Amino acid sequence: MTSYRALTFAPLSRVALVGGTHGNEMSGIFLTRHWLKSPFELQRSTLTVTPVLANQPAVERCVRYIDRDLNRCFTSEILQLDSKDGLPLEVCRAKELDRLLGPRGSEEGMHLIIDLHNTNANTGNTLIINNSTNHFCTHMASYIQRTLEGYECQVLALELKDSNLYDLSSVARHDLGVEVGPQAHGVVRAENMERMRKIVQTALDFVEMFNQGVEFPECDLDIYRHVRNMDYPRDADGEICAVIHPERQDRDWLPLHPGDPIFLTLEGQTIRFDGDRTVHPTFINESAYYEKKTAFSVTERVRVRLPPIHRLREGATLGEGASQ
């Protein structure tokens, strides 16, 4: 078995918990409102935790967004737009949040952003990281998995390069998206909210332990790497002409083999998966993704070996094998 050199990360002292990035995903909204009034359960001795309600106008109207999806407004190009140009509401808010929680890449910004989401897809508990090469994030996900054994948390790695980052959590040095489903948009379900709450508490416990000098040994982690998004079949006018097949509905994370049914036309014809290998779909039939031309996300399941990580000691400097 290959042994890996330990990676060193600087301590994390500033964490933001964000709800309402989408104004109709209610678990994060309810929790964030509660934490803004009663933040006591968030407090840890080595870090400051700041709850943030990201898109107040969308929350008030109980809609995903007003002008455009806030969670796609954090690209470098959008953040550099001039606010004098009459920008959409969410673009202006993204620039405000970048200043409040960042700016991205700065020493003054948040060390970790945990962004809270719900989906109507049958994803269960999903931990989303922007890149599986960030081993602070992968170890945090692994710790959450091991600690909350009955929760069966899946780990989705978007595998985004720095130039392709677009989501709110990417403003921070480290990122974690928490996606809990299924839950209809615009409502809250107590069991989903409680699962989200426990995941957040466990993530904060991990940061606290890391800051206090706990070393996390190398381990294996199963992740789902995002490959691409698959659109619905469309007719010559661009209209959807087939829906998710009943045999695929609600089967997030389960293997999809070449030849398996994926869509059903209104004429009753089954459309089968024509890929050349087995994949693992997720966010199947998410209602908010119709406008994004996404019937489901295609992922591949891989097992990765995580190197050991530990905290940078006081007075030490970051060198080879170390990270901010």
Question: Dihedrals φ, ψ of 249, to 5°?
Answer: -60, 135
Helices (H), the chain: 26-37, 56-61, 76-79, 89-101, 135-147, 190-211
pTM: 0.95
Give the pLDDT confidence of 75-124 residue by residue, as tens digits.
999 999 987 778 999 999 999 999 999 999 898 999 999 999 999 999 99
Give the integer Cα–Cα distance in Å for 282 and 121. 8
Give the pLDDT confidence of 34-87 residue by residue, as tens digits.
999 999 999 999 999 999 999 999 999 999 999 999 999 999 999 999 877 789
Gyration radius (Cα) of the chain, Å: 20
CATH architecture group of domain 7-218+307-323:
3-Layer(aba) Sandwich (3.40)
Domain 224-302 in CATH 2.20.25.160: yes
CB-based contact 291:217 (threshold 8 Å): no
| Single-letter residue type at 170 | S
CB-based contact 182:25 (threshold 8 Å): no
What amino acid positions are annotated as catalytic residues?
179
Q: List the chain domain ranges.
A: 7-218+307-323, 224-302
CB-based contact 309:9 (threshold 8 Å): yes
HSE value, Cβ hemisphere, 13 Å, CA-based, for 246? 3
Give the integer Cα–Cα distance in Å for 171 and 161. 13
* 320 pLDDT tier (thresholds 50, 70, 90): very low
